[in-house]
Amino acid sequence: MKDLSRTNNPYNDEKVISQCSIFGMMDTSGKLHSGKQVITAISNMHERGNGLGGGFAIYGCYPERAEDYALHIMYHTRASRDETEVYLKRFFEIRHSEEIPTFPTPAIKNPPDVFRYFVQPKMEEVHEIISDNDLVARRVFKINTSIDNAYVFSSGKDMGVFKGVGFPEQIAEFFGLEDYYGYIWTAHGRFPTNTQGWWGGAHPFSLLDWTVVHNGEISSYGANRRFLEMYGYVCTMHTDTEVVAYAVDLLARKHELPIETVMDIFSPPVWEQIDRLETQEREYFEALRKVYGPLLLNGPFAIIVAHHGEMVAHTDRIRLRPMVAGLSGDIVYTSSEESSIRLISPDLDRVWIPVGGHPVIARLKGIPGHDIVEGGKPVGGAEPLEVGN
């Protein structure tokens, strides 16, 4: 019998470097769900990783402290913890702090100490020109660049990132994520291509309540990074996904652009296509390419971007990385593989492959512009397509 394992893998490599697994689940009604289904779904794509990175982002997981910024910090030494806590007390009112509960997991070796701090900027730090979000982001960058062996890996309100070195299911076991609840969950299984596997380098990447999980390789990292540094962002991870997270924060939060426009900046048509568009569309994309050209993402990618009230799945325009979307009642799924969605939700109302370069956007009911759409603004590509109506 012919060895089928070698037909698509002539070099008999155990893994393929183009692989990572990403998964997202959002209940647009706001109902909270435990981590069980998401852990099951991402575990089904175990072969897409190699155990060097796994992680989850959860929204709505700290309802009792929803108004506080939840800082998740990993430490590799006691001295780094002591120095960081002195710094935090200087600039924040710490309303509660604790070691994040973890559980013995045989596959997890030599983890850092992980703590969480629920904080508010001190009043003397607040300025009418600088928002609380900017102040928190500034302190996050300061810790990550100035305190050795300390790294802030989550800093939003009523949400948290949990990640580390291991397969996703092992990271979930380590943090006990089956007992966490959220209305948005994203997950990632990593196969590092250009950076070493370490706890801070796992996905999701996060700033404030923005998180990004990513499958692919973005060759425009240098141009993206230099543009972001002009606006005060400090890229410490030397990885393409970090710049995507900061770019979303800059464009959506600071420049207040609609998320549809942000995705058009990431993957606009090529100039030859733009030249053939009608006047309004052509002028729209010409403006984006001229103003935000350095934030165009070159290379193959599939990303899931999340923040409170919204989850976005997006790929490059020629779909060099896989993405599938599904809908079941109020729940929107997106995944690298349809099998992972079907495993936890066999009877879907709809399942489809998104058009390359046109985001699938799920929004919380009750907020302005609630829709589940594929496409974007009418002037930004495809007409919005309502799903499930």
- The full set of domain ranges for the chain reads 15-61+158-321+355-386, 70-103+114-155
In whole angstroms, give the CA distance from residue 130 to residue 387. 39
Q: Say whether domain 15-61+158-321+355-386 belongs to CATH 3.60.20.10.
A: yes
pLDDT of residue 236: 81
The pLDDT, as a whole number, for residue 129 is 61
Mind telling me the catalytic residues?
20
Residue 241: predicted pLDDT: 87
Q: Identify the pLDDT of residue 17.
A: 46
pLDDT at 332: 96
In this prediction, the residues of the chain whose per-residue pLDDT falls under 50 are 1-11, 15, 17, 376-389
Q: Which two tokens stand for residue 5?
A: 């394992």
Say how far apart CA 323 and CA 355 lie, in whole Å. Answer: 9
Q: Is 70-103+114-155 assigned to CATH 3.30.70? A: yes
The confidence score (pLDDT) of residue 132 equals 92
**In whole angstroms, what is the distance from residue 137 CA to residue 264 CA?**
25
pLDDT of 198:
79
Residues near 285 by Cβ (< 8 Å), separated by ≥ 6? 264, 268, 269, 274, 277, 380
Residue 215 CA to residue 20 CA, distance in Å, equals 5
pTM of the full predicted structure? 0.90
